[in-house]
Amino acid sequence: MAEKKRYGMLEMDDAQRKNLEKALAKKPLHHVNPEIKEMVLAQRKGMPRIIDIHTHPYTKIGWRSLGKFRVHLEKYLYKRTDITPEQITDMAPTDDEWVAPFKELGVAVMPCGWDAETTMAPGDPLYRGNTNDDIAAMRDKYPDTVITGWGSVDPWKNWKALEEVIRCYKDLKLIGIKFQQVGQAFHVNNKQFYPLWDLCQELGMPIQLHSGFTGLASGAPGGWGTKIKYTMQLIPDIDDISADFPNLKIIMLHCSDGRDEDAVLLCRHKGNIYRELSGIQPDYIPEAAPHTFYELNRRQRDKYMFGSEFNLFPLDGILWRHMQLPYREGILEGMFWKNTINILGEEMERVGINLKEWRVNLTEV
């Protein structure tokens, strides 16, 4: 019998681990490996559901929110060099198939909208935004799993963007607003966009901002015109707005690859800045962002929330790999749900989420 080894909180022998890695690479992203599912659920027995604050519904229609960039991502992420838009549609999940992994793995999810019409739609017939109505409709269709969502507004639409924020708050009852500065081509500390931050602060709507390197158009000639300067300048960009809008909750997305040290310094200095770590395989985080991994295990442990970036990444694989990392005791469960309740609990209740499932377990972590 092969000897089992300890990987974080999981025990596996080498052959089993290698076979599961191969199985993850071969299966559709929205399918769940039964062996990994069993491991994940066994480790979390008796705990409340994980809360995923950052995913995108790249369904048969939703994938087009990335337009031509989604076709390129197939090459960048999965080495599918000759894929067509029609093939992406065929492989993409339906709404029911997209939601299924969250149900199977015990995850409550908050998907994100996408609106970059000004910068991405011209000249790209594939582009179709993931509208805020799409996100609200998904929540209404699957209320037990899709507990709320993040709206998205195109900052270049000026007063229309402000109106859309108000509609997300008042009519759609979404929890906050998500931005992707490379795709939307803007610096957040440009005073032209300060009315957006002022409004979100006034309404109590948190914002998600991309940070560090982006996979959008990575490897394409000239990045197809996209510029990573919009997400690499955490200081002064995010530093400025976090100081100028101290009551605005800002969630920096991803591990801030390339700006790791700046990210942890910002998170330490600004009480209104929080983080999540999607967009990268978890086992890369300790090397790609060593300061981040060090701090989330220590003095910034209460500032990190969980995001999966599903379905660009397999949900079961992301959870399984997180469980293999050498987190200190309580860190992973804190990131999986406790920190989210403590950071966003008020906003979650505002949009009608019953927090009883998580509240009664807070003292157990």
| Consecutive H or E run containing 86 | helix 85-91
Tell me 52's DSSP state: E
Rg of the Cα atoms in the chain = 19
CA proximity to 54, closest of 212, 176, 181: 176
In the chain, DSSP assigns E strands to 5-7, 10-12, 50-55, 107-111, 150-152, 176-179, 207-210, 250-253, 273-276, 304-305
Partner residues linked to 130 by β-bridges: 114
194-203 vs 234-244: helix axis angle to the nearest 10?
50
CATH assignment of 48-351, given 3.20.20.140, 3.40.190.10, 3.40.50.2020, 3.80.10.10?
3.20.20.140
Q: Give SS3 for 304.
A: strand
Predicted pLDDT at 224:
94
Q: What is the model's pLDDT at position 1? A: 59
Q: What is the pLDDT along the chain (365 residues), one digit of tens a residue?
A: 578 999 999 999 999 999 999 999 999 999 999 999 999 999 999 999 999 999 999 999 999 999 999 999 998 889 898 999 999 999 999 999 999 999 999 999 999 999 999 999 999 999 999 999 999 999 999 999 999 999 999 999 999 999 999 999 999 999 999 999 999 999 999 999 999 999 999 999 999 999 999 999 999 999 999 999 999 999 999 999 999 999 999 999 999 999 999 999 999 999 999 999 999 999 999 999 999 999 999 999 999 999 999 999 999 999 999 999 999 999 999 999 999 999 999 999 999 999 999 998 776 44
Task: Find how far residue 237's CA is from the centre of its chain.
Answer: 20
> What pLDDT score was predicted for residue 38?
98
d(CA 109, CA 146): 5
Q: What is the pLDDT of residue 365?
A: 43
Domain boundaries, the chain: 48-351
**What backbone torsions phi and psi does residue 277 show, to the nearest 5 degrees?**
-130, 35
Residue 360 is predicted with a pLDDT of 82
